C-alpha cells in the first residue's frame, strides 16, 4: 500500500465514506458482462454447491447440486452450467476482423504478409471476489481432463459431453486473470479496490458487502458502522442478514439451514428408492413429490443467500460505470480479445487441454508476459490518470509543474547547430535522479526526451534540456515546446513500453500457427482421477 | 481434532498460577491446546491476548459479554469431511495412512518389521494418557529396529504455571526418534497446497514438536538446546520435519508432505517464554482487575459488562486487522481501535508508513500541514521504526498536496 492510498483511507475514516483512488475507470467493462456468483461446499475442495449467473440484473439463473457429495449430481450441475455458460462464451467467436501483420519464415528468414482473425469482442465474467476466481480455477482443473462418452476409453464415470470444454474455458479465463490489466475475468472486490479506498483494511475489503457499505452507508451511519452491521448482523434465527459473498458459506447457514435441507433431500431420495424396490406406486409418487419439494426448498434457501451478493456485484458495476473510461482501455482490451481468439483457435485446432502444470519454458514465458504487462499497466495508468501519476511523483519517479521559462540554446558541436532549449519549471516535486538523467515528457505533441540540468529545491525549480521531439529544422517546430505558464510533466521512466505487437503474444498463438509447442507435446493427463 | 484439557498443577499453587486463577475467577479454565498456542504466534506482541490465554479465560464467552461475539465457527460439512478422511486412513490397520508414510519414512511393506500400535488408553483422563504415551514412546525409542505408530498420543506441555495437554493425530517412532504426523483434510492439488493452511498446520505441529523435545530433554536429564534450529538427537526426540497427510487432488487418496517446522518452533518458543514472563504484565494491572465470567444461581453475572470492558482495557493490546481471523476478541479490539482513532485499524503496514504518528486525526492534521502538536497525541511508545514524526508528517503533507492537485485536475 502506498502512502497516497493510506492517505485516501485516512480520509475515508474521517468522512465515513469511500474516497476516490482514481479519476477514471482503469478496467474495461463489457456492455454485456456475465455476472457469476459461485458457492462451494465447505471442506470439499472445488466442490460446487450452486451458482447464480446471468447477463441481466433482473433475471438471475440458479443452478445447484442438491447433494454436493454425489458425483452424478455434480456432473448434472456442471452439464447445466456448461449449457448455460458456453453459449455466452462462444457467442463472441463468430464476429471477427482481419488483422494484417507479417511473419518471418523460420527457414528462409523472409518476411511475409499474413492476415489473422481477431474476434471483434470478447466475453467478460465478473465474480464477487478473488476467492471466486480461485474457485472457478478449481472447477476448471477438476473438469478439463474428464473423459466423456465420446472418448475412446470413457472410463467408469464418463462426464457429460460439454463439461471438459467448460473446464478448458474456465482454465483459460482464470489463467488470463493473472495477467495485470486483463479484463476477461474480474473480481468485483478487486475492481472496487482499484478505484476507491475505504476506511478499513485490505483484509476487510475482501468482504464485498462490507466494502460496498462504505459507498452507500445508510443515513446517519458511517461506513465503519455500516460495514460492521453487514459483517455481523444476524436475524432471530442466528442467520446473517447479509450472507458472505462466497464461495464459502457461513458455517451457521450450513448447520441450521443448508444441512437440514440436504438431509431432507437425502431422505426423500432414499424413500423413493425404497418405494421403487418395493414396486409401490403410490409411495413412489409421494416420494417423487417429496424430492421435488426438497429441491424447491434448496432452491429457495440458496437463492436467498445468493441474491444479496448478486445485487452487490451489479451495484458495483453501476458505481464503476459512472467513472469515465481511461484512455488506454481499448488497447488493453484488444489484448484480451487476442487472448480469447487464441483460445478459440486452440480449441478448433483440437489441442489437448491445458496441462496440470506448465512446463518450464511456458512458465517462464508467462511470468515474463505478466511482468511486461505490469509495466505497461503502470505506465498506461499513469498517463491516463493524474492520481496514478501522483504515485510516481511521490515516489520521485516523475515531476510536474508549471513552465517558468524557456531559453533557446543550441548544440553547435555538429555540422549544423541543433536546438537544445532549456525549460525551467516550478515544482515541489523532488525526483530521485542525478543531473544528466534522461526524462520523458508526458502528453507532449510527440515523444520528447530531455535531461535534467539543474535542481534548485530552495527556489522550487527544475531545469531540463530538451533533446528531441522538435522536428529536424534549426528552430524547434512551433508548438513542440511547452510555453511559459503551461503545466508539464516529465517521468524518469520510459513512456513507450514496447507497444503490443499487432499480432498476439506467442502464448496466445495456437501451435498450428507456430505457437509454443509445449502445450501440444504434453500428453493429456489422468484417465481416472478419483472424484467422490 | 484437538481435545485437551488443562488441569492446575498439583501441590500448593505457585503465586503466578494463583494470580492467574484469580483473574479467571471460578469459571472452568479454558484449555490451551495446540491450536490456541499456535494462534498466539499470530499476534506475538499482544499483551492482552497473552494474559487472557495464560489465565485460561474463555475468550469466546468474554467476547460475547463484551457485546461483539467472535465470528468463528466450523461448518458441519467441513467437520464430517475431516472425520471421514481420518477414519478412512485408519481403516484396515492403518493401511491407507501407511501408504504415503512408507514413501517418506521408509516404513517397510513386508512383515519382517510389523507396525506396532500400542494401546494408549484413550478412555482415561489426560494425565494417565500422557503417562502412557511417555512410556510407549520410551519403549518404542529403545528398539531402533521397530516401527511404532502412536495413534492420538497425549503430550504434556507446561505453560505459564499450568499444564496443557496436547493431542497430535499420530507419531511414528523408528530408529530411536519420532515424527509428528498431522492429518488435514485440505487437498494437495497437483503437488501444492494452500500456503496459508500449510502455515497454520505447521504452527500447530511445532507446538507438538516442542512438547516432545522438552520431554525428551527432561528424560535424558539434559537442558533443551538453546538454539531452536538445532535438532537435539536424544532418545525419543522428535524430528523437526513433520508430515502432513492430506487428500491428493480431488479424491480421498492420501498423500504426505514433509514440512520443516524449525522456524515455527523458534516463534513458539519465544512466545511461550513470554508467557512465562507474564508475571510482569500482571503486576501492571490495577488491583482488583479480573475477568470473572461466572454467574450466580439467579444468572446474575459476577461482573457487569462495564467491569469486564474496563478489565480488558487495563491490559494493553496490539490490534491489527489480522486479529479478526485469529482472535476471538477481534471485533471488540477493532471497535476500540476505531474509537481511539488508531491507525492500526487500516493494517499493519500503515504503522511503518506513518512513523510515530499513531492516530488518524494526527495523520490527517499532518497531511493538512496543521500538525501543531496534534501528532504527539498518538505518540506514546517512541519511534522504533526510525521514521521520524517530522519526516512522516512532511511526506504526508506532500502526498496530500499531490492528491488534491490530481483530484482537482481530474474533476
Ligand atoms: S483481538 Fe485484541 S486481544 Fe486478540 S490479539 Fe488482537 S489485539 Fe490482542
Residues B168 and B112 in one domain: yes
Residues B248 and B283 in one domain: no
Q: Which CATH architecture has domain A386-491?
A: Beta Barrel (2.40)
Quote the pLDDT of residue B300: 86
Q: Is the dihedral of CA A18, A24, A27, A29 positive or negative?
A: positive
Query: Residue B60: which domain range?
Result: 13-73+273-305
Query: Where in the sequence of chain A do the CATH 2.40.30 domains occur?
Result: 386-491
Quote the pLDDT of residue A473: 84
- How remote is the CA of residue B268 from the centroid of ligand 1, in Å? 17
What pTM value is reported for the model? 0.89
Q: Could you report the per-residue pLDDT of B335-394, keeping only the tens digit for each? A: 999 999 999 999 988 888 888 899 999 999 999 887 544 444 444 444 444 445 678 898
Contact A255 B253 (CB under 8 A): no
A-chain CB neighbours of B341 within 8 Å are: 13
- For residue B374, is it within any domain? yes
Residues B108 and B232 in one domain: yes
SS (H, E, C) A57-74: CCCCEEEECCCCCCHHHH
B247 phi and psi angles, rounded to 5 deg: -65, 145
Q: Whose CA is nearest to atom 7 of ligand 1?
A: B319
Residues B391 and B288 in one domain: no
Ligand 1, from B41, B323, B334, B336: best to mutate by most atoms within 8 Å of Cβ?
A: B323
Residues B56 and B119 in one domain: no
Contact B403 A7 (CB under 8 A): yes
- For residue B333, is it within any domain? no
Is the confidence at residue A51, as pLDDT, over 90?
Answer: yes
The DSSP symbol for A255 reads I
Crossing angle of helices A281-321 and A188-195, in 10° steps, is 20
Residue predicted with more confidence, A7 or B34: A7
Is the confidence at residue A518, as pLDDT, over 60?
Answer: no
Q: In whole angstroms, what is the distance from residue A98 CA to residue A117 CA?
A: 5
Q: In whole angstroms, what is the distance from residue A139 CA to residue A50 CA?
A: 12
B64 close to A (CB below 8 A)? no
The interface predicted TM-score of the complex, written ipTM, equals 0.87
Residues B27 and B153 in one domain: no
> pLDDT tier at A523 (50, 70, 90 boundaries)?
very low
Is the confidence at residue A532, as pLDDT, over 90?
Answer: no
**What does each C-alpha distance from A171 to A175, A345, A349, A376, B292 come to in angstroms?**
6, 15, 17, 24, 54
In our burial notation (b when 16+ CB lie closer than 10 A, e otherwise), range A114-151 reads eebebbeebbbbbbbbebbbbbbbbbbbbbbbbbeeee
Q: Could you report the per-residue pLDDT of A122-180, keeping only the tens digit for each? A: 999 999 999 999 999 999 998 998 888 888 887 878 888 899 999 999 999 999 999 99
CA angle B97, B103, B108 (to 5 degrees): 80
Quote the pLDDT of residue B116: 86
Q: In whole angstroms, what is the distance from residue B43 CA to residue B56 CA?
A: 17
Residues B146 and B165 in one domain: yes
B223 close to A (CB below 8 A)? no
- For residue B2, is it within any domain? no
Three-state secondary-structure class, residue B248? strand
Quote the pLDDT of residue A446: 87
Residues B89 and B198 in one domain: yes
Interface test with A, best of B43, B250, B335, B408 (most A CBs within 10 A): B250
> Any idea which of A214-218, A501-505, B97-101 has the lowest mean pLDDT?
A501-505
Residues B194 and B104 in one domain: yes
> Which residues of chain B have a pLDDT value below 70?
1-14, 31, 41-42, 109-113, 160-162, 276, 371-389, 409-411
Q: In whole angstroms, what is the distance from residue A30 CA to residue A291 CA?
A: 40
Residues B96 and B69 in one domain: no
| A196 bridge partner residues | A20
Residue B290: closest CA among B311, B319, B316 = B311
Q: Which atom of ligand 1 is nearest to the CA of B47?
A: 8
Strands A449-456 and A438-441: antiparallel
C-alpha cell at A256: 441450521
Q: In whole angstroms, what is the distance from residue A149 CA to residue A170 CA?
A: 21
Q: In whole angstroms, what is the distance from residue A172 CA to residue A190 CA?
A: 19
Residue predicted with more confidence, A398 or A351: A398
Give the rounded percent of residues in chain A with a pLDDT score beyond 90: 68
Q: Could you report the per-residue pLDDT of A296-311, keeping only the tens digit for each? A: 999 999 999 999 999 9
Give me chain A's average pLDDT, please: 89
Give the rounded percent of residues in chain A with a pLDDT score beyond 70: 93
Residue A443, judged by CB atoms within 10 A of its CB (0-12, 13-18, 19+), counts as exposed
Contact A203 B322 (CB under 8 A): yes
Is the confidence at residue A49, as pLDDT, over 80?
Answer: yes
In our burial notation (b when 16+ CB lie closer than 10 A, e otherwise), range B185-216 reads bbbbbeeebbeeebebbbbbbbbbbbbbbbbb
* Rounded CA Rg of chain B: 25
- The whole-angstrom distance between B85's CA and the closest CA on chain A is 11
Residue A142: closest CA among A150, A151, A134 = A134
- For residue B265, is it within any domain? no
Q: In whole angstroms, what is the distance from residue A208 CA to residue A132 CA?
A: 11
Contact A385 B345 (CB under 8 A): no
Q: Which atom of ligand 1 is nearest to the CA of B319?
A: 7
Question: DSSP 3-state helix, strand, coil percentages of chain B (rounded to 5)?
Answer: 45, 15, 40
Three-state secondary-structure class, residue A114? strand
- How remote is the CA of residue A16 from the centroid of ligand 1, in Å? 24
Q: In whole angstroms, what is the distance from residue A30 CA to residue A183 CA?
A: 9
Contact B399 A3 (CB under 8 A): yes
Candidates B341, B347, B405; nearest CB to A202: B347
SS (H, E, C) A88-105: HHHCCCCCEEEEEEEEEC
Is the confidence at residue A208, as pLDDT, over 60?
Answer: yes
Quote the pLDDT of residue A251: 93
B67 close to A (CB below 8 A)? no
Residues B142 and B195 in one domain: yes
What number of residues does chain B have? Answer: 411
Quote the pLDDT of residue B235: 84
- The whole-angstrom distance between A467's CA and the closest CA on chain B is 28
Cell numbers 521559462: residue: A405
Crossing angle of helices A360-384 and A329-348, in 10° steps, is 160
- The whole-angstrom distance between B54's CA and the closest CA on chain A is 28
Q: Whose CA is nearest to atom 1 of ligand 1?
A: B330
- Decide: B71 and A232 in contact? Cβ < 8 Å: yes
Q: Is there a cis peptide before residue A329, judged by omega within 30 degrees of 0?
A: no
Residues B174 and B90 in one domain: yes
Quote the pLDDT of residue A509: 52
In this prediction, residues A210-235 reach a mean pLDDT of: 93
B364 close to A (CB below 8 A)? yes
Cell numbers 494425565: residue: B127
Quote the pLDDT of residue A498: 60
The DSSP symbol for A239 reads -
> B 259-278 residues with CB below 8 A of A?
none
Three-state secondary-structure class, residue A250? coil
Q: In whole angstroms, what is the distance from residue A332 CA to residue A317 CA?
A: 19
Give the list of residues 6+ apart from residue A506 with CB closer than 8 angstroms, or none: A365, A515, A516
In our burial notation (b when 16+ CB lie closer than 10 A, e otherwise), range A469-503 reads bbeeeeebeeebbbeeeeebbbbbeebebeebeeb
Candidates B250, B341, B347; nearest CB to A531: B250
C-alpha cell at B25: 475467577
Quote the pLDDT of residue A319: 97
Residue predicted with more confidence, A197 or A530: A197
Three-state secondary-structure class, residue B315? coil
> Any idea which of A201-205, A324-328, B156-160, B356-360 has the lowest mean pLDDT?
B156-160
Strands B162-166 and B155-159: antiparallel
Residue A26: closest CA among A397, A337, A320 = A320
Residue A199: closest CA among A9, A15, A14 = A9
C-alpha cell at B384: 522504533
- For residue B266, is it within any domain? no
DSSP line for A171-219: HHHHHHTTSTT--SEEEHHHHHHHHEE-SS-HHHHTSHHHHHHTTS--T
| A126 bridge partner residues | A35, A186
Give the CA count within 13 Å in the CB-facing half-sphere of B206: 28
> pLDDT tier at A268 (50, 70, 90 boundaries)?
very high
Cα B361 → chain centroid: 34
Quote the pLDDT of residue B373: 43
- The whole-angstrom distance between A148's CA and the closest CA on chain B is 18
- For residue B310, is it within any domain? no
Give the list of residues 6+ apart from residue A13 with CB closer than 8 angstroms, or none: A199, A224, B338, B341, B345, B346, B360
Q: Which of B251, B284, B305 finishes a domain?
A: B305
Q: Based on the structure, what is the number of domains in chain B?
A: 3
Interface test with A, best of B77, B80, B190, B404 (most A CBs within 10 A): B77
Contact B77 A254 (CB under 8 A): yes
Query: What element of type H or E holds A83?
Result: helix A71-90
Q: In whole angstroms, what is the distance from residue A10 CA to residue A6 CA?
A: 6
Amino acid at each position: 500500500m502506498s502512502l497516497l492510498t493510506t492517505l485516501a483511507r485516512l480520509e475515508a475514516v474521517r468522512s465515513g465514506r469511500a474516497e476516490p483512488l482514481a479519476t477514471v475507470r482503469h478496467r474495461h467493462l463489457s456492455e454485456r458482462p456475465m455476472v457469476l456468483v459461485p458457492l462451494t461446499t465447505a471442506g470439499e475442495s472445488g466442490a460446487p454447491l450452486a451458482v447464480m449467473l446471468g447477463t441481466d440484473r433482473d433475471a438471475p439463473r440458479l443452478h445447484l447440486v442438491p447433494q454436493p457429495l454425489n458425483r452424478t449430481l455434480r456432473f448434472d450441475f456442471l452439464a447445466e452450467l456448461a449449457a448455460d455458460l458456453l453459449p455466452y462464451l462462444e457467442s463472441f467467436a463468430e464476429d471477427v476482423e482481419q488483422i494484417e501483420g507479417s511473419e518471418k519464415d523460420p527457414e528462409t528468414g523472409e518476411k511475409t504478409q499474413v492476415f489473422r482473425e481477431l474476434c471483434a469482442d470478447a466475453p467478460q465474467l465478473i465474480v464477487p471476489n478473488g476467492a471466486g476466481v480461485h474457485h472457478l480455477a478449481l472447477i476448471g482443473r477438476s473438469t478439463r481432463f474428464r473423459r466423456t462418452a465420446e472418448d475412446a476409453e470413457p472410463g467408469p464415470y464418463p462426464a457429460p459431453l460439454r463439461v471438459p470444454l467448460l473446464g478448458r474455458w474456465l482454465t483459460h479465463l482464470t489463467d488470463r486473470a493473472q495477467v495485470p490489466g486483463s479484463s476477461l475475468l474480474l473480481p468485483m472486490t478487486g475492481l472496487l479496490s482499484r478505484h476507491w479506498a475505504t476506511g478499513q483494511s485490505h483484509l476487510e475489503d475482501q468482504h464485498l458487502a462490507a466494502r460496498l457499505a462504505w459507498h452507500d452507508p445508510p443515513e446517519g451511519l458511517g461506513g465503519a458502522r455500516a460495514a460492521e452491521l453487514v459483517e455481523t448482523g444476524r436475524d432471530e434465527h442466528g442467520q446473517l442478514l447479509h450472507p458472505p459473498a462466497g464461495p464459502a458459506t457461513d458455517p451457521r447457514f450450513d448447520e441450521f439451514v443448508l444441512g437440514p435441507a440436504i438431509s431432507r433431500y437425502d431422505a426423500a431420495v432414499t424413500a423413493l428408492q425404497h418405494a421403487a424396490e418395493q414396486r409401490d406406486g403410490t409411495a413412489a409418487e409421494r416420494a417423487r413429490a417429496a424430492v421435488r419439494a426438497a429441491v424447491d426448498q434448496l432452491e429457495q434457501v440458496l437463492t436467498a443467500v445468493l441474491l444479496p451478493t448478486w445485487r452487490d456485484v451489479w451495484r458495483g458495476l453501476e458505481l464503476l460505470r459512472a467513472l469515465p473510461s481511461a484512455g488506454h482501455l481499448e488497447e488493453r482490451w484488444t489484448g484480451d480479445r487476442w487472448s480469447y481468439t487464441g483460445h478459440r483457435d486452440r480449441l478448433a485446432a483440437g489441442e489437448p487441454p491445458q496441462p496440470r502444470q506448465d512446463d518450464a519454458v511456458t512458465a517462464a514465458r508467462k511470468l515474463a508476459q505478466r511482468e511486461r504487462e505490469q509495466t505497461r499497466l503502470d505506465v498506461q495508468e499513469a498517463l491516463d490518470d493524474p492520481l496514478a501519476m501522483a504515485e510516481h511523483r511521490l515516489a520521485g519517479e516523475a515531476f510536474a509543474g508549471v513552465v517558468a521559462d524557456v531559453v533557446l540554446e543550441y548544440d553547435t558541436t555538429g555540422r549544423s547547430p541543433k536546438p537544445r532549449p532549456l525549460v525551467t519549471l516550478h515544482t515541489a516535486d523532488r525526483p530521485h535522479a542525478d543531473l544528466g538523467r534522461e526524462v520523458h515528457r508526458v502528453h507532449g505533441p510527440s515523444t520528447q526526451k530531455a535531461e535534467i540540468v539543474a535542481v534548485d529545491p530552495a527556489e522550487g525549480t527544475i531545469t531540463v534540456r530538451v533533446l528531441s521531439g522538435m522536428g529536424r529544422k534549426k528552430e524547434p517546430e512551433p508548438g513542440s515546446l511547452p510555453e511559459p505558464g503551461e503545466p508539464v510533466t516529465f517521468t524518469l521512466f520510459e513512456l513507450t513500453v514496447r507497444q503490443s505487437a499487432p499480432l498476439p503474444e506467442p502464448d496466445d498463438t495456437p501451435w498450428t500457427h507456430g505457437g509454443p509447442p509445449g502445450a501440444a507435446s504434453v500428453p493429456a493427463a489422468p484417465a481416472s482421477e478419483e472424484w467422490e | 481434532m484437538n481435545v485437551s484439557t488443562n488441569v492446575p498443577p498439583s501441590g500448593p499453587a505457585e503465586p503466578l498460577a494463583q494470580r492467574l486463577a484469580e483473574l479467571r475467577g471460578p469459571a472452568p479454565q479454558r484449555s490451551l491446546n495446540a491450536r490456541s498456542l499456535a494462534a498466539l504466534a499470530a499476534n506475538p506482541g499482544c499483551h492482552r491476548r497473552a494474559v487472557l490465554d495464560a489465565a485460561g479465560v474463555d475468550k469466546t464467552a468474554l467476547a460475547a459479554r463484551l457485546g461483539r461475539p467472535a465470528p468463528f465457527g466450523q461448518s458441519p460439512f467441513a467437520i464430517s469431511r475431516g472425520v471421514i478422511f481420518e477414519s478412512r486412513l485408519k481403516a484396515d490397520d492403518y493401511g491407507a495412512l501407511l501408504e504415503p508414510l512408507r514413501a517418506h519414512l521408509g516404513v517397510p511393506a513386508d512383515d519382517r518389521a510389523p507396525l506396532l500400535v500400542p494401546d494408549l488408553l484413550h478412555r482415561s483422563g489426560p494425565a494417565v494418557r500422557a503417562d502412557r504415551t511417555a512410556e510407549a514412546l520410551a519403549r518404542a525409542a529403545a528398539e531402533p529396529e521397530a516401527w511404532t505408530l502412536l495413534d492420538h498420543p497425549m503430550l504434556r506441555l507446561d505453560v505459564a504455571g499450568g499444564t496443557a495437554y496436547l493431542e497430535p493425530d499420530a507419531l511414528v517412532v523408528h530408529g530411536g526418534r519420532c515424527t509428528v504426523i498431522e492429518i488435514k483434510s485440505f487437498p494437495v492439488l497437483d503437488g501444492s497446497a494452500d500456503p496459508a493452511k500449510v502455515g497454520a498446520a505447521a504452527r500447530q505441529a511445532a507446538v507438538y514438536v516442542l512438547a516432545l523435545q522438552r520431554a525428551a530433554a527432561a528424560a535424558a536429564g539434559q537442558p533443551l538446546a538453546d538454539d531452536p534450529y538445532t535438532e537435539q538427537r536424544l532418545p525419543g526426540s522428535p524430528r523437526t520435519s513433520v508430515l502432513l497427510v492430506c487428500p491428493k487432488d480431488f479424491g480421498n487418496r492420501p498423500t504426505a508432505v514433509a514440512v520443516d517446522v524449525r522456524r515455527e518452533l523458534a516463534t513458539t518458543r519465544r512466545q511461550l517464554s513470554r508467557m512465562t514472563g507474564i508475571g510482569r504484565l500482571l503486576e501492571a494491572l490495577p488491583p482488583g482487575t479480573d475477568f470473572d465470567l461466572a454467574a450466580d444461581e439467579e444468572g446474575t453475572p459476577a461482573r457487569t459488562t462495564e467491569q469486564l470492558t474496563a478489565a480488558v482495557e487495563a491490559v494493553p493490546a496490539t490490534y491489527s486487522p489480522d486479529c479478526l481471523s485469529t482472535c476471538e476478541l477481534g471485533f471488540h479490539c477493532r471497535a476500540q481501535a476505531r474509537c481511539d482513532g488508531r491507525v492500526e485499524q487500516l493494517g499493519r503496514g500503515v504503522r511503518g508508513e506513518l512513523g510515530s504518528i499513531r492516530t488518524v486525526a494526527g495523520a490527517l492534521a499532518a497531511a493538512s500541514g496543521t500538525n501543531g502538536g496534534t501528532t504527539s497525541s498518538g505518540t506514546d511508545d517512541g519511534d522504533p521504526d526510525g521514521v521520524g514524526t517530522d519526516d512522516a508528517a512532511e511526506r504526508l503533507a506532500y502526498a496530500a498536496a499531490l492528491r488534491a492537485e490530481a483530484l482537482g485536475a481530474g474533476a
